Amino acid sequence: MIASLSIENFALIEKLDINFSEGFSVITGETGAGKSILLGALGLLMGKRADLSSLKNEQEKCIVEASFSIKKYNIQTLFQDNDVDYEDETIIRREILPSGKSRAFINDTPVTLNVLQEISLHLIDIHSQHQNQELNDENFQIEILDVLANNMALVLEYQSSLEDFNLAKGKLKQLVTQKNSASKEQDYNSFLLEELIAANLIAGEQEELEAELEKLSNVEAIKENIEKSIAIATEEQIGVIQNLKEIKAAIAKIAALSNDYAVLFERISSTIIELDDIISELNAEHDKLTHDPERLEFINQKLQLLYSLQKKHQVKTVEELITIKNDLDAQFSSFEDIDNQIEQLTLQVEALKTKTDGIATTISSNRAGVVPSLEDQLIKILVPLGMPNARFKFEINATETYFESGKDEIQLLFSANKGTNFGLLKKIASGGEMSRIMLAIKSILAQTKKLPTIIFDEIDTGISGDVANKMADIMSKMSTDLQLFAITHLPQIASKGKNHYKVFKYIKDENTFTEIKKLDKTERINEIAEMISGKNLTESAITHAKALLS
């Protein structure tokens, strides 16, 4: 319930502070006194867009703040989901700055307008002639049946199952698309993979083959130079080795005379040994050299294959070709597994569809189960409200379409007079009839669901007399379970309120201001008498007002 309301610098309100009570309260005032201003301020708390023209003083900010007692609403989870601190006495504040910027706070936590709108929906329900059109909204009609059928937990379960179902369907569609796309490239990728496998790629092989190719391509020149080198070194008379041996013999004769000569002798000896070893290796290399045209052709072909593959795949090494081969191999393994994934996911989709359909069927059955009772209750309420021949028919049609709250399409049919056929409510019911039907529905919902504070804005338009009394009785009964306000011009309704507030205008220093005050007993008698007879109060009007209040 709204415990208090504070408004500063909004429209014709300079500063206003008012406390509200539980139960049924009425708000009265002359046309143009500022009742719409009060609703506009509450609209800001519900997240409606701010307008700079609403500032009374454009140099100062506008502040609208309200305190709500929400302990009985059980909406702690809603606060947690929106990362807002929960308090049993929750304070909502909205500020409009002279710059045009707007700020919103819930329990001093800054929030977006979306969060403010979501939370305030559970706190305030402002109902005007315009809101009567909500009755024509199929989602609202479904919500009515679901509340009465106690379907809310089932609807949440359905929504969760539907989300899983749609997610699985999306994954399955993605896999099928992936498979179809991969199939188009499968043959070409298969060719590439087989080509790389056939190449028998070995890391480091290219460098070895290129080195061997150099040898085989120059075998005659290599042999010639090795033979020449061996001849120079081993010629009997003038070969390098023979000359070194003669040097060694000469130094041997003086090696004993000095340590320096002995060292030189050892070095010459080592050189002869090293040269002998070189000659041996040159001979061995010479022996290995053979002209092998087949091997040369094989190496040429293998290298050309490697160069061709590297060019095709736009790489420079065998190692990179091996990586590409491994990737293609992995793709094929993945592709082979995709059929299994599709099969498993298809089973999952079918299971989720069965589960979701089952919940939807239960929801639909529960809705159908409460329709007769709802139609009877509506008729009983509307008969004393001047609609003795009202009849209703809820047509529930199961479809194959998955909606947010099930698979049903609903049409609310209505007949206001005997002998007339049923037709869509929105096409048949008048504005006054819509107001009374909405009141009847709200009163039925109040018995089942914890409704937020309801503000009926001139819902009594177009009625009078005994019907107004009956309407007031309904609102009074509803207020035993919730806080209810009625903005009214009818004394019959104003007299039934537990609390009476008056909105009025006054002029101060050539400026017009709007104010609201709670009326005491005497003020209330005079206000209702004025509603009966106008500004000139008569004794009979006062007597009538007292009678209404008693």
Residue 358, CB-side half-sphere exposure with 13 Å CA sphere: 9
Confidence of residue 184 (pLDDT cuts 50, 70, 90): low
In terms of pLDDT, which residue wins out, 191 or 10? 10
Mean pLDDT of the 489-513 span: 90
Predicted pLDDT at 182: 66
Mean pLDDT of the 334-362 span: 89
Confidence of residue 381 (pLDDT cuts 50, 70, 90): very high
Q: Is the pLDDT of residue 518 over 80?
A: yes
In terms of pLDDT, which residue wins out, 318 or 526? 526
Predicted pLDDT at 305: 82
Element holding 515 (H helix, E strand):
strand 511-518
Cα separation, 550 vs 544, in Å, equals 10
**For a pLDDT cut of 70, what percent of the chain falls above it?**
95
Instruction: Name the range with the highest mean pLDDT among 43-47, 306-310, 430-434.
Output: 43-47
- Nearest CA to 518 out of 485, 493, 476 is that of 485
Mean pLDDT of the 145-163 span: 94
In terms of pLDDT, which residue wins out, 196 or 416? 416
Predicted pLDDT at 520: 93
Predicted pLDDT at 131: 63
Predicted pLDDT at 507: 87
Average pLDDT of the chain? Answer: 87
Mean pLDDT of the 198-220 span: 77
Mean pLDDT of the 47-52 span: 84
Q: Is the pLDDT of residue 163 over 70?
A: yes
Predicted pLDDT at 183: 62
| CA angle centred on 12, ends 9 and 16, rounded to 5° | 60
Predicted pLDDT at 382: 92
Confidence of residue 161 (pLDDT cuts 50, 70, 90): very high
Predicted pLDDT at 130: 63
Predicted pLDDT at 104: 94
- Sheet of strand 499-508, all strands in order from the earlier edge strand to the far edge: 124-127, 453-457, 484-487, 24-28, 499-508, 511-518
Predicted pLDDT at 401: 94
Name the token pair of 470. Answer: 């009956």
Domains and CATH numbers, the chain: 1-123+452-519 (3.40.50.300), 180-335 (no CATH)
Q: Is the pLDDT of residue 334 over 70?
A: no
On whether the CB atoms of residues 42 and 94 are closer than 8 A, the answer is: no
pLDDT digits (tens, 9 = 90+) for 241-262: 888 888 888 888 888 888 988 9
Predicted pLDDT at 229: 84
Name the token pair of 78. Answer: 């809603």
In terms of pLDDT, which residue wins out, 96 or 129? 96
Place of tokens 């007292």: 546
DSSP 72: G
What phi, psi does 511 have (nearest 5°)?
-120, 145
The DSSP secondary structure of 131-174, one letter per residue, reads: GGGGGG-HHHHHHHHHHHTT-HHHHHHHHHHHHHHHHHHHHHHH
Predicted pLDDT at 110: 94
pLDDT digits (tens, 9 = 90+) for 82-111: 999 999 999 999 999 988 889 999 999 999
